[in-house]
């Protein structure tokens, strides 16, 4: 069995603290592969909140008075609230990998609600994501190392986790097929890395073994914009930054973001922003106060 955990003030005792809106008290992970069984039983619950993320395998939870076995598979999280009885167990045969975080604070209920976690939720279908494990591993490390401002960092990491959960819960365009999800993320990364050179969407789709119509339709479902619109938005956003922060002329900036024709660049920029690049730079400089010496 592999385990790694960390506790605020090096204390395993649970606590309630309403001095701040959100406080991480402890976090950790278990990965069973040799131990036969790992049970947890807290009939009176704890004083804090707990979220458990099943990253792989499965876990058995027994909710309510009747204690009916609820099998929670990878890609789900379980939430326990203060003083709620807890009974669950993992089995080595399932190769279960679980991450957990305990937290408290004066505004926890409202924070959870604002991220789509309602008061009646027990099991939350979040999908599996390396982002969840990355954030939870970072929490463990922060709590172990205790560098300056680590408690604030822990709160930020937990909020990032809640945001990731909320995005999954509210995503109408969620693509459950792993292949599709991977292809769309690959395309997004490719466009971000290569936006300033000529990108042929048809050629890209063909290079990935996809039909053009299927790729465009899937990309629009995933990102809510077409591939070319996405590429243009990246180019114009970077052009804005260069207009605001550099002295490059409009032609140079157009070349940097992928437009060889300065007239075409100006036309696209104005269509997107309502003003030409030169007008945009003038407006920005007029509205930027002089930096005191």
Q: What is the CA radius of gyration of the chain?
A: 25
> What integer pLDDT is reported at residue 289 of this predicted model?
52
Phi and psi dihedrals of 241, rounded to 5? -60, -45
For 48-77, the pLDDT digits (tens) are 999 999 998 899 999 877 778 899 998 899
Global pTM reads 0.61
Q: Which of 94-98, 122-126, 265-269, 282-286 has the lowest mean pLDDT?
A: 282-286
For 260-282, the pLDDT digits (tens) are 999 999 999 999 889 999 999 99
| Complete domains list, the chain, with CATH | 2-170 (2.60.120.280), 178-286 (1.10.10.60)
Mean pLDDT over the full length of the chain: 89
As a whole number of angstroms, the distance between CA 222 and CA 205 comes to 15
Residues 6+ apart with CB under 8 A from 76: 53, 54, 123, 124, 125, 126
């Amino acid at each position: 069995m592999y385990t790694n955990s960390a506790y605020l003030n090096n204390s395993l005792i649970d606590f309630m603290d309403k001095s701040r809106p959100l406080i991480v008290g402890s976090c950790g992970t278990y990965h069973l592969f040799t131990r036969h069984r790992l049970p947890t039983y807290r009939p009176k619950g704890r004083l804090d909140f707990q979220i458990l993320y099943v990253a792989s395998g499965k876990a058995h939870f027994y909710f309510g008075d009747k204690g009916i076995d609820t099998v929670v598979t990878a890609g789900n999280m379980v939430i326990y609230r203060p003083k709620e009885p807890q009974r669950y167990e993992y089995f080595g045969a399932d190769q279960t990998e679980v991450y957990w975080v305990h937290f408290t604070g004066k505004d926890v209920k409202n924070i959870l609600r604002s991220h789509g976690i309602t008061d009646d939720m027990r099991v939350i279908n979040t999908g599996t994501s390396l982002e969840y494990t990355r954030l939870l591993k970072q929490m463990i490390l922060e709590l172990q190392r205790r560098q300056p401002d680590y408690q604030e960092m822990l709160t930020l990491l937990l909020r990032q986790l809640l945001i990731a959960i909320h995005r999954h819960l509210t995503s109408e365009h969620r693509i459950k097929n792993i292949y599709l999800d991977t292809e769309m993320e690959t395309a997004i990364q490719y466009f971000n890395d290569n936006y300033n050179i000529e990108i042929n969407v048809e050629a890209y789709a063909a290079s990935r073994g996809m039909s053009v119509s299927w790729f465009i339709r899937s990309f629009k479902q995933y990102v809510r914009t077409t591939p070319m619109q996405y590429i243009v938005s990246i180019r114009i956003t970077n052009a804005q930054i260069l207009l605001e922060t550099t002295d490059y002329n409009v032609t140079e900036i157009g070349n940097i973001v992928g437009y060889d024709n300065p007239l075409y660049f100006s036309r696209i920029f104005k269509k997107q922003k309502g003003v030409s690049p030169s007008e945009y730079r003038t407006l920005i400089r007029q509205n930027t106060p002089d930096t005191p010496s």
